[in-house]
Amino acid sequence: MLRYLLTEDDVGSVRFGISPLCELGLSLRAIKEPARFPLQLGWLRRTEEARARLDLHTLSGLIDERMWTPDFLNPRPSSPLTRLEDEFAGLLETPPEVFRRDLIAVHGHVPEVFAGSAGASLRRIARALRQLWETCFEPYWPRMRAVLEADVVYRGRQIAQAGVATMLNGLSERIEYDRGVVAVRLHDPADRTIAIDGNGLTLVPTMFTRRASAPVGDGPPMIIYSARGQGALWETEHVANPAAVVAVLGQTRAGLLAALGEPASSTELGVRLGVTASAVNQHLRVLRDAGLLVSTRYGRSVLYLRSELGSALLESRAG
């Protein structure tokens, strides 16, 4: 059990962040044990060929049988707009003693693949992670980021409408908040209690944890939790025969449904399809009411995404 102790000031300074490097590190869980991450099987299928060309020897040294990864792969993001290049720069500047300490905390020793100098090992790790990013993340990151950002907006609305306690208690069944104490039930048998003491608690949504995660060591206070809205994330993007449903939905609605393999706003869709915003909104409401789309609010916009039913309809072939 991990417990974070929050003062009143700490409760008011709870913040959210999105970390591309954290997603890279945590994705090793899905690569290692695909069956434990059913919501990411679509991503695993799409990247199977690319992953076969990765430096898996290096990457496998970053995760153990408990699915733990070293804390230097999970930096506390400074904002929801953290840049990957900045995180890579920070990774390469990891002090040798921290590098070895974090690996030992996970494996009990420094894996043989990292037995050389810390600097050389960090450069090798950065190269392997960059290749993972470029081949398996970059093509899909806008879609993944949209889900992560939408989750942050949802949690912010919860705070505004019901308070921090309600938001914290809704993050995961393994997270409980009561009277200034955030308790996180982890697989780690150790019982740790950490006072925030003005250091801020950062909440990080991710695609690659099923319940909740936290730093292995006594790093900056941070809780990693499973983002909402992943269910339709990897619905089929390549439509088999959109023309087959034009007669049922009409050209505009069929086009909208085909375009929504990735999250998009009505404004963006209107520009792409040459339809007025008011007309797009009317069509989107009809498609959503029919169960062919799902939607979530992000800032002042509403993001739409094709549902499983909508994808199944578009994949059907004319007899």
How confident is the model at residue 237, as a pLDDT? 42
| Under-70 pLDDT residues of the chain | 231-245, 247, 262, 268, 271-272, 297-301, 316-319
Cβ-based neighbours of 173, under 8 Å, separated by 6 or more: 211
Q: Please give the Cα distance from 281 to 297 (Å, whole number).
A: 14
How confident is the model at residue 244, as a pLDDT? 60
Q: Supply 156's token pair.
A: 């912010």
pTM to 2 decimal places:
0.76
The answer to whether the CB of 152 falls within 8 A of the CB of 70 is no
Which helix (H) or strand (E) is 118 found in, with range? helix 118-132
8-state DSSP, 112: G
How confident is the model at residue 231, as a pLDDT? 67
How confident is the model at residue 137, as a pLDDT? 95
The answer to whether the CB of 54 falls within 8 A of the CB of 2 is no
Cα angle 313-315-319, degrees, rounded to a multiple of 5: 90
Q: How does 302-317 read in b/e, with b if 16+ C-beta sit within 10 Å?
A: bbbbbbeebbebbeee
User: What is the CATH T-level fold of the domain 242-315, as seen in this structure?
Assistant: Arc Repressor Mutant, subunit A (1.10.10)
Task: Please choose, from the candidates 61, 87, 86, the residue with its C-alpha nearest in 3D space to the C-alpha of residue 73.
Answer: 87
The pairing of strands 202-206 and 15-16 is parallel
Q: For the chain, what are the domain ranges?
A: 7-173+197-226, 242-315
Q: Please give the Cα distance from 318 to 14 (Å, whole number).
A: 52
